[in-house]
Amino acid sequence: MSLRLGSVPTIVVSSSQAAELFLKTYDSIFASRPKLQASLMSYDSKGMAFTEYGSHWRYTRKLSALHLLSASKVESFAPMRREKMGSLVDSLKKAAAAAKECDDDEFDMKSLIMENMNLAGAFNVADYVPCLAAFDLQGLTRRMKAFSKKMDEVLEKIINEHAKEAQYKKISRKISFFPFGSGRRGCPGMHLGLTTVRLVLAQLLHCFDWELPDGLLPNEMDMSERFTLTMLKATHLLAVPKYRCLLTMFKFAVNLV
């Protein structure tokens, strides 16, 4: 379906067949990115996510894949994942024993990531009527600048922390399901993402029994959704953990890290 949103011609891709044309057959044609206001959160389109398809994008992708996201690099982070996973399980265990809510977020990354997703997925009028960008009618530009400043501060803290610790030490999938994107602009961090999610989920299920709070039944859960960069539950899932693991925790995780 073809639309015109303000001054921008837009095509709505609503079938797996059409998605395959855009993301596989003709992906070199559609691999670039439009100039969006959200690129303010990516160093004005210099970051890999929002930069135009070309030599700069190829260089940044190669750099991140080589020094951060390759299989060997992901494997080298295994001790750190085990350490952080142990801290998370321990925090949940203590919170469960004290019947308190657990919020193990040292750098407040959860709220920052949610703000990033909300801003990147927001319908920004300035993207479709560029002459209105200077007025920031929705206040999104102000929020993006505040987010970028805060995220830079957090990343600097993390980099400094890891610098101190440094003294010791192709997948086939259906085009109708691509949570990491597809084609040339598919997410290069898929291996890291899957490794981390599998480890965390496996350990949480291995170490705890989980229940819904206040006698809530599964069919009574609010499953309504809200729109951001990805589709999320409108209300957070609340679950009550009960620690049950008496064995050495990470023996189970050896093959997952």
Residue with tokens 């890891």: 162
Determine the pLDDT at residue 43.
Answer: 87
Burial of 166-197, coded b for 16+ CB within 10 Å and e otherwise, reads eeeeeeeeebeebeeebbbbebbbbbbeebbe
The two structure tokens encoding residue 220: 């009574």
The residues, any chain, with a CB within 8 Å of residue 234's CB and separated by 6 or more, are: 222, 224, 225, 226
Determine the pLDDT at residue 187.
Answer: 84
Determine the pLDDT at residue 147.
Answer: 95
- Averaging pLDDT over each range in 66-75, 92-101, 128-137, 188-197, which range is the top one? 128-137
Q: Which domain holds residue 141?
A: 2-256
Determine the pLDDT at residue 160.
Answer: 81
Quote the CA–CA distance of 45 and 192 in Å, as a whole number: 23
> Residue 52 carries which DSSP code?
P
220 pLDDT band, cuts 50/70/90, is: very high
φ, ψ for residue 51 (rounded to 5)? -70, 155
Determine the pLDDT at residue 168.
Answer: 47
CATH of the domain at 225: 1.10.630.10
Determine the pLDDT at residue 178.
Answer: 66
Across the chain, mean pLDDT equals 84
Interval 7-54: pLDDT, tens? 888 888 888 888 888 888 888 888 888 888 999 898 888 888 888 899
DSSP string, 160-192: HHHHHHTT-------TT--TT--GGGS-TTHHH
Report whether pLDDT(252) > 70.
no
Determine the pLDDT at residue 228.
Answer: 83
Interval 147-205: pLDDT, tens? 999 999 998 888 887 776 655 444 455 555 667 777 788 888 888 999 999 999 999 99
Q: Give the count of domains, the chain.
A: 1
Angle between helices 109-121 and 140-165 in degrees, nearest 10 = 140
